[in-house]
Structure 1
Amino acid sequence: MASIKRKFVPMADAHVIARATLVQSDFDAINAEVQKGLREAAERVAAAAQATALAAPAQTLPPLCNTGGKKFQLVTEGGKLLLLTERTHSENEVCFIDWLHITCHEASFDHTNGVSDEHFIMDVSRTCESIFGFGITAKRDRGMHFYNTSYVLGDKYGHVCYGGQRNTVLIQLTGTGCAAAKHGWERRLYEFLQASVTGKITRIDLAHDDYEGKFHTPESLEKAYDDGHFNAGGRNPDVEMRGNWKNPNGKGRTLYVGTRGNGKSFRGYEKGKQLGCPTSPWMRYEVEFLAKSRVVPLECLIRPQDYFAAAYPLLSTFSDRAERILTTQKTVQAYYERTKKWLKHQCGAALNLMFQIEGDAKKVLDLVMREGKLPEGIKVPSYLTAGEFLHNLEKTVYPMAAYYESFDLERE
């Protein structure tokens, strides 16, 4: 070990060394001087700032992002600055969820049955059944939404997509799927996503049905746009009108407000006419939120009315309760009326001919009716009739040798 060299002060007398030694009183004096200097500096800075404020003319802060001073919240996600979807308080349940996309990491599922994609999808199916009341019923022959593989949920109630997107799973629920899901699915999905890994909503559609058209007509929606009732504090959003607005022909008209690229848009359209009833006053109002340049909070699942009311000033005035069951009943009724008209127009003459020959209406019906078959639009969507789920079918036993080989382990 190298020796430590000591330095000595040459010709240093004892009284010189004593004078160079600091005692406690010296430290106290130095500290007092430092604190005094800091106080004086702070007082000078405060005085200068006050003098500047008094001398400067009154000014307002510039608008944020050219929105005319609109207030909004920004959050960070993955290192990006995103807009947080606005929320207000609404006493009434004025809307329901009519379309949904959620994603989460594959680690969110209880993957205990093996390591193959087949076994993993069965775990996803089991989770879907616990939330919605129905699971996966079939595999499609291609992927979708940029995922490698896709599967059918229930009786065409949605899709599950997996593979090729950073180990995430996409679960899509259509409007029919939202109606078919077991009561309370929104709360169960909310709790699942809260406990999941990177779980989030990537699309959610909130809808209100105005069966009698008492809130608005297509014409009044157009006027509401002109009057600024879709202006949420910034510039007027884009607007587009589709259908025959000049000479309405009973096929329905739609007013689109906003752009999907901005993550928020509105659709107001004649729902009854879309279902085939030319004289129906039924209007539907939909707000679509996308996870584009914004974050869609998970609370949209359990308090959708708060986000629906905050989307546009026009929607904050809605008060009638939105009932999914009543909407399903109205939809089935509309399909039934359309079916009767179609049958009379397309087959009425043929049925009359058969009646003239057979002489009995029941016999004619027995000849043409298909047992156990109903038109798609007439069937009431329900998790109780969603089909057989993959995870309930008999599965082949996964060889343990392959299990260990997959993880490069050695059996004991």
Structure 2
Amino acid sequence: MIEVEHRAPSDRLPASNRGVSETERIGVVLDWVAASFDLVAVLEAHRFMDDPQAVLDDLDGIVGNCVPAVAGILASHFVPDLFDLGEKSRGRFFNWRVALRSGDQHVGLLEFGGIHTMRQDGTRTARIELTGDGCRLYEASSGGDHAQRWSSLASLLGAVDARLTRVDIAADDFAGHWPVAWAIERYNEGAFDRRGQRPKARLIDDMGNRTGKTFYVGSRTSENQLRVYEKGREQGDPESPWVRYEGEFHASNRRELPLDMLVDPAPYLVGAYPVLDFVEGIGERLRIAAEKVLANCKRAVMHFRRQYGPMLNAMLHASGGDERTLTNLVMGTARAGLPSWCARPDDAAQLLAAILFAPVGHIEAQTGQE
């Protein structure tokens, strides 16, 4: 039995069999997608196979002259004009890998080439992978229309005999109605049992330091694993109630992952874990992005005050309160560039201003970290 060391208040632990109101339901987003597909079919669609065997031999070799061109074709086929391509590198199972990037951010991979990439029917395969950030940016490129964007990708994959190999489906409980302690209680009651068997589980406990707990149901080597973790605290806000339920699904010899998982993912998460009956529909990408920026912003301000507060106090005394002197000191300290979590500078600037210029002691009183 998994023990709960730091229980949440009882009013935050809804009973597993109570009704769930519409206002309490939460939606899902795709947080990782990987698929293998017929490489030759894509290359032929783009008329890159005048000498098919020469191309395949090159990809199987150690030089890979065709690698940049092949990577460009695959990117233009599945994610046109969205991401930049990294340098080619050697892979393991696949001979070559090329990263998908958005600025300095790694958002996915293209992998292809090698003698081990052939299916039993002789199909030469390649692989595309989108990370959580890759999924977010891919969906945002259609104005945030989940159905439109993922239906398009599902169609493209289906046309080249693709098979999903991994899909992560995440449900975000921003208000903390279903905290980690709730999931642990349901596990102990048998709500996650399958065919009379209780899956393995483990808890990574922050021991009260508010950096975030994580509860795992199942193992990563199995077909499914559920992670329940305090996402807001993981992002840096020790007061955040934000909890994420994230199912990781893998294809196996016994089970294929249907392409429909991309279009309508919620039923697959609830189907694997019926106790999550509060999950329904599509989640709020903009809300997720805003919560992440807010949490990172709070953390940045806390670290800034802890590390540089005394130095700023010394600057105040040295300047005698002269605003021009202080401005020169700040401008002279600033560096080009922005924090990695700051995707939209205007939004982050507003948050920083609100937090930095809050009444003295506001952040410390909120977090208890000083």
Q: What SS does the corresponding residue of 1:95 show, helix, strand or coil?
A: strand
1:102 maps to a residue whose letter is A
1:177 match: 134
Deviation digits for residues 324-353 of structure 1 (CA, Å, limit 9, x no counterpart): 121011111111111111111112222333
What is the CA–CA distance in structure 2 between the aligned matches of 1:230 and 1:159, rounded to whole Å? 33
1:236 match: 198
1:203 match: 166
2:171 maps to a residue whose letter is H
Question: Is 1:162 equivalent to 2:112 in the alignment?
Answer: yes
Structure 1 residue runs of 5 or longer lacking an equivalent are 1-90, 382-412
Deviation digits for residues 243-292 of structure 1 (CA, Å, limit 9, x no counterpart): 23xx4221111111012322111010111111111121110000110012
2:100 maps to a residue whose letter is L
Deviation at 1:185, TM superposition (A): 2.6
Change (3 A) 1:128 1:318: closer
Question: Is 1:134 equivalent to 2:134 in the alignment?
Answer: no
Deviation digits for residues 7-27 of structure 1 (CA, Å, limit 9, x no counterpart): xxxxxxxxxxxxxxxxxxxxx
Structure 2 residue runs of 5 or longer lacking an equivalent are 1-21, 50-54, 56-65, 119-123, 143-147, 346-370
Deviation digits for residues 274-311 of structure 1 (CA, Å, limit 9, x no counterpart): 11111211100001100124211111010101101111
Change (3 A) 1:287 1:227: same
Question: Is 1:151 equivalent to 2:115 in the alignment?
Answer: no
Aligned partners of 2:28 and 2:170 also within 8 Å: yes
Deviation at 1:154, TM superposition (A): 2.7
Question: Is 1:191 equivalent to 2:160 in the alignment?
Answer: no
Q: 2:184 aligns with which of 205, 210, 222?
A: 222
Aligned partners of 2:28 and 2:280 also within 8 Å: no
1:333 match: 294
Between Structure 1 and Structure 2, whose CA radius of gyration is higher?
1
Aligned partners of 1:157 and 1:174 also within 8 Å: yes
1:203 maps to a residue whose letter is R
Change (3 A) 1:220 1:380: same
Aligned partners of 2:68 and 2:88 also within 8 Å: no
1:255 match: 215
RMSD: 2.3
Deviation at 1:220, TM superposition (A): 1.5
Deviation at 1:205, TM superposition (A): 0.3
1:102 match: 35
1:9 match: none
1:162 maps to a residue whose letter is F
Q: Could you tell which deviates more after superposition, 134-143 or 249-258?
A: 134-143
Hey, which bits of structure 1, 4+ residues long, moved more than 6 A? none
2:176 maps to a residue whose letter is G
2:86 maps to a residue whose letter is A
1:296 maps to a residue whose letter is L
What is the CA–CA distance in structure 2 between the aligned matches of 1:219 and 1:349, rounded to whole Å? 39
Q: Kindly report which structure 2 residues correspond to 1:261-340, keeping only aligned pairs within 5 A, or say none.
A: 261-292=221-252, 293-319=254-280, 322-340=283-301
Name the TM-score, length of structure 2 as normaliser.
0.71
Deviation at 1:141, TM superposition (A): 3.6
Name the TM-score, length of structure 1 as normaliser.
0.64
Deviation digits for residues 17-69 of structure 1 (CA, Å, limit 9, x no counterpart): xxxxxxxxxxxxxxxxxxxxxxxxxxxxxxxxxxxxxxxxxxxxxxxxxxxxx
What is the CA–CA distance in structure 2 between the aligned matches of 1:265 and 1:99, rounded to whole Å? 13
What is the CA–CA distance in structure 2 between the aligned matches of 1:187 and 1:281, rounded to whole Å? 33
